[in-house]
Structure 1
Amino acid sequence: MGVYGQKLKVTPNLDKLGEEGTVFENSFTVQPVCGPARSCLQSGMYPSEIGTFINGISLPENIKTVADYLNEEGYETAYVGKWHLASDDGIEEYHYKGVPKHKRGGYKDFWRASDVLEFTSHGYDGYVFNEKMEKVNFKGYRADKITDFALEYLNEKKSDNPFFLFISYIEPHHQNDRKIYEGPHGSKEKFKNYELPEDLRYFGNGDAVENYENYLGCCNSIDENVGRLIEKLKEMGEYENTIIIYTSDHGCHFKTRNRDLKKPGGDDYKRSPHSSVIKTPLIIKGMDLNVKRSESFVSLLDLPPTLLSLGGVKDFGNMQGETIEEKLKKDEDKVFIQISESFVGRGLRTKDYLYCVWAPEKNPWKDKNSEKYEGLYLYDIKNDPHEKNNLIDNEKYFETKEKLKKILISEIKKYENKICEII
């Protein structure tokens, strides 16, 4: 994105949105895996607390979601794109069939989604399901078609009720069965003059070189479609009356991290605590935050209470985040991260450091937490912004590590209500 330093013209619409709203420099996911991150966005709770700590665990039906709260306030609730919160692998599979009403997290007025969109489509062509669980086929580039469904909702909206529309694109995620990033045709030529980020150049053992043009093509397509949505809102006369929040569930390290762990999932592109994975874009347009670029630390956990506050909800139940306004007032300077699937880990990202611990004896696909952790990563962000040098065993950082260890133990107690030991 241009607002974060991209030199090529990849995201002009989002850059303009950032100029009109607030750009967050320190926005983070709290769990760098699709399903867990999405469960956090719907519930406002850490994945460990509702059991959705890995992919393939459905959103619990007994929790109150953002959509549930807003339904009570008279909002229409609509969902388009990838859901990834319905299937319990091995028990119930909604990978290739429609998600039933009770599995939709409260979205009641419009539904054009697949539980795992990359299973029912490719970069071009595929299908989703509607409210009646009927297959809806589409031809063309996937991001364009997901936007078409969102526009269908806006075009058909007949009531005067306010609306909450959640659009979940999959791009720029890689295509699972093809193991490549599928940008629109022509992406390789259009973005051939890209500059690879320094951390990807430094580690150089991933798959960024063969995929980066298409990755940027995916990002450019998202941007064009955000532009289409903005134009529609303007046409409806609702642009100035609409709050737009743009973010992502996680980032991507293009298989450059976790290889040293020699564990399942190590040869991957997420599931790590590194900033390339946990740092997410965040632009909010329409809220009067009195700041154009914020350095305060915020996370996906803070978006549900923020949405509810905007919708007039006063009591957020068991949600563990705080509103964006509260985070800005506090000038928050840290975020607590949970890691699964590659290893059972916990992390702390501050302005100056990235600290991560793990439980090597635990199974990252079965164990959601641990009572004992060991140091795994420590990076001095101020002096090593691209996290090249792991200082976890560096004696010069012993006192720093001890301070971070105490903070992390406190965060685990606060958010997981667990007493743990870090050795």
Structure 2
Amino acid sequence: DDHKDKPFYLFLSQIEPHQPFVAPDGYRERYTGGWVPPDLATFKGETHQHLGDYYGMVKRLDEALGRIQDALKSLDLTRKTIVLFTSDHGEHFGTRNAEHKRSCHESSIRVPTAIQGPGFDSGGNIRQLVSTVDLPATLLDAAGIAVPEHMQGHSILPLLKGETDKWPEEVFIQISESQVGRAIRTDRWKYSVVAPGKNGYRESGSDNYVEEFLYDLEADPYELSNLIGCGHLREIAAEMRERLIRRMIETGESKPAIAQAPDRMPENSHGVSWEKWQAWSQE
């Protein structure tokens, strides 16, 4: 109320939905037993133990966002205030590694992002790949503030006008703590590498990596079959490797050496041959 007549910036960070997963009374019950994404249903983890609480916490957070919207409306600020809702990571419930995030998979890296306000009132979805590093530049641009040349990321405002020619065709992913890893995602392919022997809590990068994952997101959107090392996709892996190295250099890292994965048949993401996995999953 005290700032409604002056420009203001408010950053509100909610811990939920986050471990420990304990939804408010009555919220878990609404979602327990509901739809489970195929990747979370396929791989062993803690999905069924926590998903009801997780969805319930998301619902409660959505209601809290609604109260902010109501406050803006009551102060007659809706038409001149930009509201951005996003998250810093997803949740895979231990299906991809020993924790709940910090992997290259969609369940870890794909996050909700919605923007409303001046310049963002046309509705619809952006189909291009957008990274969280693009959001600060977007907010500055929308507020009429020049984006510093040294700032990484790009404003998405040109995308809203249909100006897509210069937009990057991939997003770059850095993975810490669970591993020292790097990945790149295009519309169709996901390619990820890991630095063997490096501690993700103490070391931020490496000069040497090995290939770990390759996914065809068009044929396998839930990343159930790891294609790294498959002979017929060597050219795809080589192209993705060069694109990843280029993006690493652009962010200030030294040019790394990336060792190719050995030849093998397609695997599921837990390292079991796909044939064995299919047999196991049907038992």
TM-score normalised according to structure 1 size = 0.58
Structure 1 contact 306–324 (Cα < 8 Å) conserved = yes
1:229 CA drift (Å): 0.8
Describe the shift of the 1:366–1:187 C-alpha distance in structure 2 as closer, same or farther (beyond 3 A): same
| SS of residue in 2 equivalent to 1:382 | coil
Contact 2:79 2:118 in 1 (8 A): no
Partner-residue secondary structure (3-state), 2:251: helix
The alpha-carbon deviation at position 326 of structure 1 amounts to 4.2
CA distance, structure 2, for counterparts of residue 335 and residue 240 of structure 1: 32
The residue number in structure 2 matching 1:169 is: 14
Q: Deviations over 1:266-309 (max 9, x none)?
A: x1000101011000111111243556111111111011111122
Q: Identity percentage over the alignment?
A: 37
Q: 1:351 to 1:158 in 2, by over 3 A?
A: closer
* 1:404 corresponds to: 240
1:350 to 180, 186, 209: 186
Structure 1: which 5+ runs fail to align? 1-154, 176-180, 259-266
Instruction: Identify the match of residue 269 of structure 1 among 64, 75, 100.
Output: 100
Q: Which amino acid aligns with 1:416?
A: G
Deviations 1:223-277 (A, max 9, x none): 111111111111001111111111100001000002xxxxxxxx10001010110
Partner residue in 2 for 1:296:
128
State the Cα distance separating 1:327 from its structure 2 match. 5.4
Distance in 1 of aligned mates of 2:199 and 2:93: 24
Residue 222 of structure 1 aligns with an amino acid whose one-letter code is L
Alignment size in residue pairs: 254
Which residue is 1:247 aligned to?
Answer: 86
SS in 2 for 1:256: coil
1:158 shift after superposition:
4.5
1:238 aligns with 2:83: no
Partners of 1:164 and 1:268 lie apart in 2 by: 34
Q: 1:253 to 1:326 in 2, by over 3 A?
A: same
CA 1:254/1:292 → structure 2, altered by over 3 Å: closer, same or farther? same
For CA contacts below 8 A with separation 6 or more, give which structure has more relative contact order: 1
**Counterparts of 2:129 and 2:100 in 1: how far apart (Å)?**
24
Q: Structure 1: how far apart are the matches of 2:58 and 2:116?
A: 19
Matched, 1:376 2:212: yes
1:387-408 Cα deviation digits (max 9, x unpaired): 0111112111111000101101
Alignment-derived partner of residue 307 in structure 1: 139
Matches within 5 A, 1:309-328: 309-326=141-158
In 2, Cα distance between the equivalents of 1:158 and 1:387?
A: 47
Rate the CA distance shift 1:294–1:158 in 2: closer, same or farther, 3 A: closer
Question: Which ranges of structure 2 fall in alignment gaps of 5 or more residues?
Answer: 260-283
Secondary structure of the 2:237 match is helix
Q: Is the 8 A contact 1:251 1:277 kept in 2?
A: yes
Whole-angstrom distance in 2 between the partners of 1:219 and 1:293? 21
Kindly indicate which of the two structures has a greater share of residues assigned to strand.
Answer: 1
